Structure 1
Amino acid sequence: MNRLTLAAAAALAVCAAPALAQEAAPAAPAAAAPAPSAEEAAFQAKGEAFQAEAARMGAELEALMDDAGLDAATKKSRTDAVLDRYEPKFAAFADDYAAFLRLMADKSENAEQKDEILAAADAAPAQLRAVPGQVRAAIAAALAAPAPAAD
């Protein structure tokens, strides 16, 4: 079960990355922080909604894996169904994230960071899309591992 917990934590960390990436760097103490643009505010709302979805997915998976009344085959089929249901949400958010980053890269105030932002727009969506597969692999490994001995 530790592997599932680690996979879920990794998934949530990956999911949290977009929200953290959009936070502006700390402003100099004398300067007031600029208000987020409409695009930034809209994407932040999408990011928060996605994080809530990912947390629900994690809770569903954890409940299934913790259910002592289910055998490994049933756990596998039910966790696969949960992951199948959430996978399109990961893909959609990955697309939204890439579009948001490309939009940010085109802003004149981000000209000095354009290359880094575009690199993130290319790499981050693939990482997000990979999360359900990584969780699926962690679940398979956890189910294949021998049960801990009862003391």
Structure 2
Amino acid sequence: MTASAVASRSSPLNRLSLAAAAALTLFAAPAFAAVQDPPPPVPMITAEPAPSPEEAAFQIKGDAFNVEAERMGAELETIMDDASLDGATKKARTDAVLTQYEPKFAAFADEYGAFLRQMAEKPENAEKKTEILAVADAASAQLRGLPAQIRTAIEAALAAPPAPPAVD
């Protein structure tokens, strides 16, 4: 779960704004499409090359990590949505959840960086080696930083004044 997702779920006002933006997009999209040039014809779809054994193995790791991240997100959402908890309790409990999952983020960040560095060394990636290595470093750092970003979003959500009750 992203930091913005945690923050957006913490306030009904944020949800209302997101719903309004989504509705506006729904209604505006057909009108916008009407003034656009027609899309170019769709080219024939060609089969994608099969993933390498390394890519297939890492995809399995990525899927497993995604399950863990979704589980963490559900735990955080449950805590943040619990109206019986005060802000201090929510902060303590979300910190505990994030502390529990931080090593998993760090381990996956290391594995992802190593995988990308391994891909950069393949002869067929020689022209893109520098770019792949830069992505390896940036992606690894970004993954490691996600728990801190989520903590910051939670703290901001808890510090924000409560949304006024909805009026029917």
- Structure 1's 55 and 5: CA in aligned 2 closer, same or farther, altered over 3 A? farther
Tell me how far apart the structure 2 counterparts of residues 30 and 121 of structure 1 sit (CA, whole Å): 30
Aligned residue number for residue 33 of structure 2? none
Identical residues among aligned pairs (%) = 66
TM-score by length of 1: 0.80
Alignment of 1:55 onto 2:57: no
Q: Which residue in the other structure is 2:40 paired with?
A: none
Measure how far apart 1:35 and its partner are: 1.7
Deviation by residue 1:69-110 (Cα, 9 ceiling, x = unmatched): 111111000000000000100000000000000000000111
* Corresponding position: 1:4 with 2:19: no
AA aligned to 1:114 is: K
1:87 matched residue in structure 2: 102
Contact 2:7-2:154 at 8 Å conserved across structures: no
Displacement after TM superposition at 1:32 (Å): 4.3
d(CA) in 2 for partners of 1:116, 1:79: 36
Q: What's 1:134 paired with?
A: 149
CA shift for structure 1 position 68? 0.5
Q: Which ranges of structure 1 fall in alignment gaps of 5 or more residues?
A: 8-27
* Structure 1 Cα separation of the partners of residues 72 and 121 of structure 2: 34
Moved over 4 A (4+): 28-32
Looking at CA atoms only, which structure, 1 or 2, has the larger radius of gyration? 2
Tell me what 1:21 maps to: none
TM-score norm. by structure 2 comes to 0.72
Secondary structure of residue in 2 paired with 1:102: helix
2:80–2:90 Cα contact (<8 Å) kept: yes
Q: How many residues align?
A: 130
Cα RMSD for the two superposed structures = 2.0
Q: Could you report, residue by residue, the CA deviation over 1:32-67 in whole angstroms, capped at 9, with x for unpaired residues?
A: 432211111110001111111111111100000000
